[in-house]
A = this chain, B = another copy of it.
């Protein structure tokens, strides 16, 4: 049986660690980051030839809806789900699944984030096709696993059981959440261990059954939503029902608990653009090891990431391994080793009323 492949693009992330470019009303996936297209647009482009627009669903949040719709009008014009409130990925996946199953009870669904970078696209397509076959053959929950290239501490890892199962998948033994550096260094030495790309493939019925088993509260909420969907007062009631859904990720809520999880190792290069250091994945460095977007002049400047907005100049003297990002109203200067701590700055802005305008 050739499965009907659907896609749910998860476009609700905030991307706080890319502040000050990533903002409440201009979140990470809508940024271009030196490309001609935003991460969201690249994610939609990446589905061409794999999943038709007519079978692609976009899930986003209220404050991002307008911008997302403007960036991918062709995709978002058709099946566009706006979460009444953010309830993490389990609820978003559930909402998208309910929408898809209403139209196609036999759907096989690819779930993918809008803010990752993958190359080359052909290898992505090959891997997804394998994952879809495995999802159908085994009625399993299938994750895509990326070959690690360095001891990343910002990614999750997947340890497979031995024994390849056609078409090229493994049963998952365990998930390892963002490890400390020594553990990460150990993990990348072990054969078969991969990064969890956060890209999943499963039959709609299968993920719904898994949600019913592991997150019964979410399942009941989704059932209630399904009943009111399309009715005259549906929109208002959906909003109330959605707000009551549990806030948990699909990884923690379902995948780490289920015993029917599979992993297909991929040959594509991948990055989740989780911090400014990801620019080293997106762009190549100059002879001084600097990655520069926009106008820059430097004296004795090395190993740095320099991002100037249009029309703005960044000048650096005697700096090494720094991240400098200038937006219209804010400037970040951060040591590369502390790129994760940008989140702390964002938290402090949220906690301080006069500074909230910089969120």
* A-to-B contact residues, CB < 8 Å: 19-20, 295, 297, 299-300, 308, 311-319, 322, 324, 326, 329-335, 337-338, 341-342, 344-345, 348-349, 352, 355, 358
| A20-B315, A322-B319, A358-B313 known; A299-B333 Cβ under 8 A | no
Residues of B within 8 A of A318 (CB): 334-335, 337-338, 341
Residues of B within 8 A of A352 (CB): 297
In whole angstroms, what is the CA distance A34 to B313 when docked? 23
B299 in contact with A317 (CB, 8 Å): no
B314 in contact with A331 (CB, 8 Å): yes
Q: Which residue of B lies closest to A336 (CB)?
A: B318
Q: Which residue of B lies closest to A295 (CB)?
A: B355
B330 in contact with A345 (CB, 8 Å): no
| A317-B342, A345-B297, A345-B317 known; A322-B333 Cβ under 8 A | yes
Q: Which residue of B lies closest to A320 (CB)?
A: B335
In whole angstroms, what is the CA distance A107 to B252 when docked? 86
In the assembled complex, the CB of A203 is this many whole angstroms from the nearest CB of chain B, namely: 44
Q: Which residue of B lies closest to A317 (CB)?
A: B334
| A299-B344, A300-B338 known; A331-B317 Cβ under 8 A | no
Of listed A299, A318, A344, A345, residue having the most chain B CB within 10 A = A318
Q: Which residue of B lies closest to A338 (CB)?
A: B318
The 4 closest A-B pairs by CB, nearest first: A318-B335, A318-B338, A317-B334, A313-B330
B315 in contact with A345 (CB, 8 Å): yes
Q: Which residue of B lies closest to A349 (CB)?
A: B297
